[in-house]
Chain A
């Protein structure tokens, strides 16, 4: 099956400082992919770059294909049809993501008018249907309200309604629940996964919250310092992380069941993008690093069925993990 989106060697630099250093990623139709990593690891930049949403001074290279059509360097009119029409995106801070001086109806109907062949009253009816769908009560009246008249969770629901306006094949949710409190967070995630099932839409869930990703995604890609370091089906990654960084992330989570154990922190800090170490970017913080780790950046290589990892010490890392488990 050909992938819906395939990203190859995607690199981005701001003012000569590389922030994305060759990302390879493929996404199937209807698949839910989680993208995890610390802030600054390039999770959002990957998709902003793919959709041409980065500022003009960003230098982008590589390839992003949607159904085989190259998006990088595509004409503006074609990108405008893709954005919102085939690939929709919702963002972290719902409060500032909607235009404060336009009514919800204007902002929703704008998306509908752009991507759907709807006229006059049907546009408004569809806008109302979308608000109903995402669970905004009293939708017909609330269409005339402004963004500041809604709560954060409601605005995120409206963002989702707006994203659905173009019947997209892929929804990119960039930290959709980070700015919301825990109960609202669960409701929004529930809404996203229901909608995804009903519309058989693919989704990329960008998050630094491993729990959120584990519950909502089929597959997970872990990013570190502008690269993908490990990709695996969700259950396998959480049960058996191979890259020492992925292990570190999961080791830093408190287990909900089983015996209590000491949480392990990853020593050191993320390298400055302007002064990347040669070789593996994680090596300076890695307890398993050996001399060869500092020589060349490891490439993402298949290690098992459906799994890839960018680490020359993956085998040692797996043994170390089993060692911990045996303790």
Chain B
């Protein structure tokens, strides 16, 4: 068991290193922070001084090693715009993002999972078709289109809700709705197919054949099995809590991590972008690890395999 998880954790660490490396290289190859931040009109000596101050003149492999040795010491760099530590900038944005993504996660689960189960149990019924059509619409429509549509209807036409900003809880309704609908749609489809798969299994027929009432067949025989694939997608959704709202935050002018990321990328504010990506990679990887642990908890067959590995 220990070896199994040691391998998992090693692999997770490798993933994080790869993500950070990729971001590091791409950001440095795709634009000059000095020009972005100081502007093209800036005098050449100012630009040269800026480059020197931030170590941008050093060879890229040197910068890279420098960056990693700093990370090893727990330093994530400073913003090139205002010199504040990048981690501070990012951390102060996290509550605003979680204020959107946590309720949205709750609504995704509360809407998507029951809808999927219901659709599977009433396969082929009008409600099943309605749920699935909504679900397909929900995840084929990009979130910015949905966001603009909601703004158009509820802010512009009806005037019920504000179209952007963060002044009151009412400002959060449209962004949360946008995030919830797409996620709920994905979950509904996923839960439905997981349930259908399980309901077709011979052990479901066995349970019915021994006289278990249908309601109990569903709750104690089908659901625990359908939970196994559904947990995968839930883990993925937990992984996006920090940076899953980039588009929505931009559309609704919500000052969260997502908006910070967009601005930082546009400015080539390297330390900030890398700090966010590191954080995102870590939440993703952590939620994946948690999913792996959960698999072992939900599926005794994997528990046994893990023990032998």
CB distance from B118 to the nearest CB of A (A): 15
Which A78-108 residues have a C-beta within 8 angstroms of B? 80-85, 88-89, 91, 93, 96-102
A138 within 8 A of partner (CB)? no
Assess the A111–B211 pair: CB atoms within 8 A.
Answer: yes
A77 within 8 A of partner (CB)? yes
Residues of B whose CB lies within 8 Å of any CB of A are: 124, 201-203, 205-214, 220-221, 224-225, 228, 298-301, 304
Q: Which of A57, A88, A99, A100 contacts B209 (CB 8 A)?
A: A88
Q: Complex: how many Å from CA A106 to CA B224?
A: 13
If A53-B205, A96-B203, A99-B203 touch, whether A111 touches B301 (CB-CB below 8 Å) is no
Most buried by A among B207, B209, B221, B225: B209
Provide the residues of chain B in CB contact with A97, threshold 8 Å: 202-203, 205-206
A51 within 8 A of partner (CB)? yes
What 1/0 flags go to A150-177 for Cβ under 8 Å of B? Answer: 0000000001001101100000000000
Assess the A100–B207 pair: CB atoms within 8 A.
Answer: no
Assess the B301–A148 pair: CB atoms within 8 A.
Answer: yes
Assess the A91–B202 pair: CB atoms within 8 A.
Answer: yes
Per CB-CB distance, the 5 closest pairs between chain A and chain B, nearest first, are A84-B211, A84-B210, A146-B300, A83-B211, A89-B209
Assess the A146–B225 pair: CB atoms within 8 A.
Answer: no
Size class of the A contact interface (CB-based, 8 Å) = 35 or more
CB distance from B281 to the nearest CB of A (A): 32
Assess the B212–A102 pair: CB atoms within 8 A.
Answer: no
Assess the B304–A100 pair: CB atoms within 8 A.
Answer: no
Provide the residues of chain A in CB contact with B210, threshold 8 Å: 83-84, 88, 110-111, 114, 162-163, 165-166
Assess the A148–B300 pair: CB atoms within 8 A.
Answer: yes
**A101 to B, closest residue via Cβ:** B224
A324 within 8 A of partner (CB)? no
CB distance from B89 to the nearest CB of A (A): 45
A149 within 8 A of partner (CB)? yes
Q: Which of A57, A102, A163 contacts B224 (CB 8 A)?
A: A102
Q: Complex: how many Å from CA A76 to CA B301?
A: 33
CB distance from A133 to the nearest CB of B (A): 17
Provide the residues of chain A in CB contact with B214, threshold 8 Å: 76
A115 within 8 A of partner (CB)? yes
Assess the A114–B206 pair: CB atoms within 8 A.
Answer: no
**B122 to A, closest residue via Cβ:** A56
Q: Complex: how many Å from CA A96 to CA B206?
A: 9
CB distance from B194 to the nearest CB of A (A): 13
Given contacts A97-B205, A148-B304, 10 further A-B contacts (CB under 8 A): A77-B213, A80-B213, A84-B212, A91-B202, A93-B202, A110-B207, A111-B211, A114-B211, A146-B301, A159-B206
Which A88-142 residues have a C-beta within 8 angstroms of B? 88-89, 91, 93, 96-102, 110-111, 114-115
Assess the A91–B206 pair: CB atoms within 8 A.
Answer: yes
Assess the A100–B211 pair: CB atoms within 8 A.
Answer: no
Q: Complex: how many Å from CA A93 to CA B202?
A: 8
What 1/0 flags go to A44-88 for Cβ under 8 Å of B? Answer: 000010010100010000000000000000001100111111001
- Name 8 A/B residue pairs within 8 A (Cβ), A-sorted: A84-B210, A98-B203, A100-B203, A101-B298, A101-B300, A146-B300, A162-B206, A166-B210
CB distance from B261 to the nearest CB of A (A): 40
CB distance from A147 to the nearest CB of B (A): 8
Provide the residues of chain A in CB contact with B202, threshold 8 Å: 91, 93, 96-97
Provide the residues of chain B in CB contact with A80, threshold 8 Å: 211-213
Assess the B299–A101 pair: CB atoms within 8 A.
Answer: yes
Provide the residues of chain B in CB contact with A114, threshold 8 Å: 210-212
Assess the B211–A102 pair: CB atoms within 8 A.
Answer: no
Q: Complex: how many Å from CA A57 to CA B124?
A: 10
Provide the residues of chain B in CB contact with A53, threshold 8 Å: 205, 208-209
Q: Complex: how many Å from CA A110 to CA B205?
A: 15
**A115 to B, closest residue via Cβ:** B211
If A91-B202, A93-B202 touch, whether A100 touches B208 (CB-CB below 8 Å) is no
CB distance from B195 to the nearest CB of A (A): 14
Provide the residues of chain B in CB contact with A98, threshold 8 Å: 203, 206
Q: Complex: how many Å from CA A53 to CA B204?
A: 10
Q: Complex: how many Å from CA A67 to CA B103?
A: 57
Q: Complex: how many Å from CA A57 to CA B228?
A: 28
Q: Complex: how many Å from CA A81 to CA B209?
A: 10
Q: Which of A85, A91, A146, A149 contacts B211 (CB 8 A)?
A: A85
Assess the A51–B209 pair: CB atoms within 8 A.
Answer: yes
**B222 to A, closest residue via Cβ:** A99
Provide the residues of chain B in CB contact with A111, threshold 8 Å: 210-211
Q: Complex: how many Å from CA A48 to CA B202?
A: 12
Provide the residues of chain B in CB contact with A89, threshold 8 Å: 209
Assess the A84–B209 pair: CB atoms within 8 A.
Answer: yes
Provide the residues of chain B in CB contact with A163, threshold 8 Å: 210
If A100-B301, A102-B221, A148-B304 touch, whether A81 touches B211 (CB-CB below 8 Å) is yes
